[in-house]
Amino acid sequence: MTTLVPLSRPSLGPREQAYVQDALASGWVSGTGPYVERFEAALAERLCRSHVVAVSSGTTALELTLAALGVGPGDEVIVPALTFAAPAAAVLTVGATPVLCDVSPADWTLDPVAAGELITTHTRAVIAVDVLGHPCDYPALARLGLPVIEDAAQAHGAAVGDAPAGSFGLASVFSFHVNKAVTSGEGGCVATDDAELAARVRLLAHHGMTPQRPYVHEVAGRNGRMTNLTAALGLAQVERWEELVAARRRVGERYTAHADGLGFGRRPVRPGVRASCWLHTVATDPGTRERLVRLGRASGVDVRGIWPALPELALYRDRAPRPWPVAAAVSRSCAWLPTSADLTDEEIDRVVHAVLRPAASGDPAPGPAVR
Ligand SMILES: *Cc1c(COP(=O)(O)O)cnc(C)c1O
């Protein structure tokens, strides 16, 4: 069956066209240029941070932040068991050990109490993932006394009170991959108020040298820059931030109105938190989750089970010193429905009628078992 409703698609319009054309015409197509600077400045303002460094991906942003903090072999970094795998992979990439920690039943983000029990003399940092668009409990995480890196890759537009996701912890990272709420195609950034940390990230992302001293490599840096062409696309999207975030929220609300009536659960939200809608997540039981995915396959609607808990993967099996029952239960019982800023009401209704409704009624689902 061809895909009629994709899991996500970008919303690209005349502003994106104009900025990319302009960058192309200017000849500034690689890792420096006016759009990179404007992109960084626009993000710094939005995230209430004094420094933003644009980089080539969210994963690169995580690696560079860890490297800039001096995290390496022999060090441990606490990472939630429920997340897209990039934070754990970034810890391995810098040569350190990810220590996987269960999430809280209250909001499915890193459990501060469980994290505290995993601290050893080797623990150097915590990567707190604003999973499924819900900011972590940062005041509680701060009490752990470790540098906290906020991974806000799924949380564009989320907030706690007036504080936006991306403003918490020592540094925050975003991804602007095409399936995120704000995209540059591929891309990411590091946001921080720590001038030294920002300078270190920039140094590492630019071959370990500064523009003031070309070819004087202070450290073995890498090339993690965002291109001006990419930043042109990214700036257009950042300028549409409110619109893009609100459009996804509208999609989530329409799904929720239907799903509530059909008896599906919601992701829990802590009081005072405004969660963002990245991919709309329905909570159910593993059997119904399976039916949702199969009905989606049969009707051309890209419904997906969320990630397995990381310790379920062979690569991370030995990385969780303590049980992770909440991450296990959530990962097995949740599914994503197609979510894009420009998803039409007709498409949403198609998802509801072809997938949500029959899955809720217990109709036998066609096709072989799929994750
Ligand atoms: C998408 C994502 C990343 C990785 O971002 P890329 O830009 O794809 O490298 C990192 N962390 C989380 C939580 C993500 O969802």
CA distances (Å), 138 to each of 113, 171, 172, 238, 322, in order? 12, 12, 12, 25, 22
Among 138, 134, 136, 156, smallest CA distance to 147 is for 138
Residues 6+ apart with CB under 8 A from 17: none
| Geometric angle at alpha carbon 18, from 16 and 21, rounded to 5° | 105
| Pairing of β 304-305 and β 334-337 | antiparallel
Ligand 1 midpoint to CA 13 (Å) = 24
Taking the C-alpha atoms of residue 327 and residue 307, their distance in angstroms, rounded to an integer, is: 10
310 lines ligand 1 (CB under 6 A): no
What's this model's pTM, rounded to 2 decimal places? Answer: 0.96
Ligand 1 midpoint to CA 175 (Å) = 5
Q: Under a CB-based contact definition with an 8 Å cutoff, are residues 156 and 181 in contact?
A: yes
Which of 56, 57, 59, 190 is the best mutation target for the ligand 1 pocket, counting ligand atoms within 8 Å of the beta carbon and taking the most?
A: 59
Confidence at residue 2, expressed as pLDDT on a 0 to 100 scale: 80
Confidence at residue 3, expressed as pLDDT on a 0 to 100 scale: 84
Ligand 1 midpoint to CA 192 (Å) = 18
R_g of the chain computed on alpha carbons: 21
- Whose C-alpha lies nearest to ligand 1, atom 2? 153
Among 360, 361, 359, 340, smallest CA distance to 3 is for 340
Counting from 1 in the atom list of ligand 1, the atom nearest the Cα of 176 is 7
Three-state DSSP class for residue 140: helix
Confidence at residue 371, expressed as pLDDT on a 0 to 100 scale: 47
DSSP 175: E
Q: What are the average pLDDT values for consecutive 10-residue runs of the chain, which has 371 residues? A: 90 98 97 96 98 98 98 98 98 98 98 98 98 98 98 98 98 98 98 98 97 93 97 98 98 98 97 98 97 97 98 98 98 98 97 97 60 47
Q: Specify the residue for token string 């599906």.
A: 264
Query: Residue ranges of the alpha helices (H) in the chain?
Result: 14-26, 34-47, 58-68, 86-93, 112-117, 138-142, 195-205, 228-239, 241-261, 286-299, 325-333, 345-351, 357-360
Burial class (CB in 10 A: 0-12, 13-18, 19+), 344: exposed
234 lines ligand 1 (CB under 6 A): no
Confidence at residue 362, expressed as pLDDT on a 0 to 100 scale: 75
Taking the C-alpha atoms of residue 329 and residue 82, their distance in angstroms, rounded to an integer, is: 10
172 lines ligand 1 (CB under 6 A): no
CA distances (Å), 335 to each of 105, 167, 262, in order? 17, 28, 15
Query: Beta-carbon neighbour count of residue 265 at 10 Å?
Result: 14
Q: Under a CB-based contact definition with an 8 Å cutoff, are residues 148 and 125 in contact?
A: yes
| Geometric angle at alpha carbon 71, from 139 and 129, rounded to 5° | 40
Taking the C-alpha atoms of residue 168 and residue 158, their distance in angstroms, rounded to an integer, is: 12
- Whose C-alpha lies nearest to ligand 1, atom 5? 58
Q: Which domains does the chain have, with CATH numbers?
A: 14-238 (3.40.640.10), 241-361 (3.90.1150.10)
Among 340, 344, 347, smallest CA distance to 9 is for 340
Confidence at residue 368, expressed as pLDDT on a 0 to 100 scale: 52
